[in-house]
Amino acid sequence: PYTGLTGNVAGFVLCFLVIISMYGGGFSTVPAYLRDMFGTRYVGAIHGLLLTAWSMAGIFGPVLVNYIREYNVAHGVPKAQAYNTTMYIMAGLLVIGFICNCFVRAVNSRFHMKANDNRGTEPGSVKAATPAAARA
């Protein structure tokens, strides 16, 4: 909002280009980040939880942003500036997220999956569903 309010078109375009260049970067780096932080044994489940949270944000985020915009417009904020509050809230949430991420530490390597460790790679139901005669 600041670069738009100052009338600095070049600054606004530069900020916009920096932000848009990051689109999709998080999605492509999440699996490697999760592996580095939590190991490979449960990375699938952790990734699933992260994507579930991400999709919930995709559903409820726009609803919340629209509510804040409509609230601002109803209280006399010009339509051209109605999203300023939401942008500042999002910037604050990004800072909070960054600080929280700085406190996250990788799990101890003893909890990581070893090369010869196949626990969790085969469904347990396969062995249970196979008749005893076929296993012998």
Question: What's the pLDDT tens digit per position in 22-62?
Answer: 877 878 888 888 888 888 878 888 899 999 998 999 999 99
| Residue 76: C-alpha distances to residues 23, 62, 68 (Å) | 33, 21, 13
Residue 97, classed as helix, strand or coil, is helix
Nearest CA among 88, 97, 17, 112 for reference residue 54: 97
Cα pseudo-dihedral 66, 68, 70, 76, rounded to 10: -150
Nearest CA among 71, 75, 24, 27 for reference residue 47: 27
Calpha distance 23→17 (Å, rounded): 10
Calpha distance 82→74 (Å, rounded): 10
Is pLDDT at 89 greater than 80 in this prediction?
Answer: yes
Determine contact, residues 65/86, Cβ cutoff 8 Å: yes
pLDDT band (50, 70, 90) for residue 72: very high
- Domains in the chain: boundaries: 2-110
